[in-house]
Amino acid sequence: MTSAALEGLVFDVDGTLADTETVHLAAFNQAFADLGMDWHWDEALYTRLLEVSGGKERVQHYWQQMRPDVRAIDAMAVEQTMARIHEIKTAHYEAAVNDGAVQLRPGVLALIEEAAAAGLRLAIATTTSPVNIAALLRRAMGSDWRSRFAAVQDASSAPLKKPHPMVYQQTLAQLGLPAAACLAFEDSANGLRSALAAGLATVITPARFTARHDFAGALRVLPSLEGVGVDDLRAWRAAA
C-alpha cells in the first residue's frame, strides 16, 4: 500500500485540522436554547454522540433516542425541526470561529505549507458542512484558503458519512491519485475506518473527544503534527 511515491495528503477537518468539538457542542446547546427545547448535551453525552458522523445525523440519532414514539406522520415536522436546529447551530459555530474561538492544531499549517512547497497535492475529506470548513480555514489561512487544496469533499458532496469510505474515494478521484500515493490525517475511529477502507495509510492525532478511540491499523498515532515534516511521512510509509 505504501510502495508508491508520496504525492498527496488528505486531511479531515473537525478534530484533525483544529480541535473544534468544544465549540460545536456549545453551538448545539445554543441552538437548543434558541428554539426553546429542553435538550442540553454535556461533554460525556457529546463524546458518545460523536460516534455518529455528521451534525444532522447526530441530532437525528439523539432525537430517535429521546422520542422513539414519533409516528411516521410526524416525519416531515421532525425533519424540518432537525434542519432548523442544524441551521441555527451552524450560525453560532461560524460566529464563534470568526471571533477567534478556534485555531489550527500545532504543526498543521507548517506541514501544509511544507507539503505544498514540496509539490504534494493537498485535499480535504470531511463529513462537516462547507460553511464550517470555510469559516475555519478562512480565519486560519486567509480568504484564498481554497486555492491551497486540489480537492475538497464534504457533507454536501458525500452523503454517506464516515466510516463509509465514500468521502475518501471521491477525494482520490478528484485528486486523480491512487490511494497508495497518498496519506490521510484523522483524529477519530470512524475517520480511520473510512480512510483505511479507501486504501489510505493514515496518521492519527487524537483530539479531546476522541482520545479513547481504537486506532488499530493506523500508520502512526501522535499527540499532534507539531514537528512533523514531509521527510517523516515518507520515512514512516517506507518503514510500513
Closest C-alpha among 145, 141, 230, 147 to residue 185: 230
The cell 458519512 sits on which residue?
A: 161
Is there a catalytic annotation at residue 12? yes
Alpha-carbon torsion angle 176, 181, 185, 186, nearest 10: 80
Q: In sequence order, which ranges of the chain are alpha helices (DSSP H)?
A: 21-34, 43-49, 55-66, 75-98, 108-117, 130-141, 166-175, 189-197, 230-239
Q: Which amino acid belongs to residue 205?
A: T
Catalytic member of 12, 19, 154, 187: 12
Catalytic member of 14, 19, 154, 187: 14
Beta bridge partners of 121: 8
Rg (CA), the chain: 18
d(CA 191, CA 217): 12
Is there a catalytic annotation at residue 144? no
**Cβ distance 1 to 179 under 8 Å?**
yes
d(CA 11, CA 176): 16
Active site residues: 12, 14
